[in-house]
């Protein structure tokens, strides 16, 4: 049985993730990191491309929901993408 791919979002950006079993997920995370990130989620100001990457990662996640850490709830993938895109606007 393979590992499940997942991510957790906080303050509109990545908090926790596991895409070890997803070649495309690993590739996207490398691109995200190459663009640059802050040492903490609260300080992170994602670029438009980083937000696109997060949305692509959401699509790669196993399961139908994404966990929003700050809100303490699971939301649909569609809601998670809206959260990422609109955060900080």
Give me the tens of pLDDT residue by residue for the chain, a chain 89 residues long. 557 889 999 999 999 999 988 999 999 999 999 998 776 666 788 899 999 999 999 999 998 999 999 999 999 999 999 999 999 87
Query: By three-state DSSP, how is residue 10 classified?
Result: strand
Q: Which residues are 66's β-sheet partners? A: 75
Give, as one character, the DSSP assignment of residue 84.
Answer: H
At 36 the pLDDT is: 81
The answer to whether 10 and 73 have CB atoms below 8 angstroms apart is: no
Backbone angles phi, psi at 18, to 5 degrees: -150, 110
Q: How far apart are CA 16 and CA 25, in angstroms?
A: 13
């Amino acid at each position: 049985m393979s590992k499940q791919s997942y991510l957790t979002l906080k303050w509109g950006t990545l908090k926790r993730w596991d895409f070890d079993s997803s070649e495309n997920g690993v590739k996207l995370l490398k691109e995200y990191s190459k663009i640059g990130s802050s040492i903490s989620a609260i300080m992170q100001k994602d670029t438009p491309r980083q937000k696109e990457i997060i949305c692509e990662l959401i699509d790669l996640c196993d399961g139908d929901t994404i966990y929003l850490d700050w809100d303490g709830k699971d939301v649909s993938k569609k809601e998670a993408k809206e959260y990422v895109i609109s955060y900080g606007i």
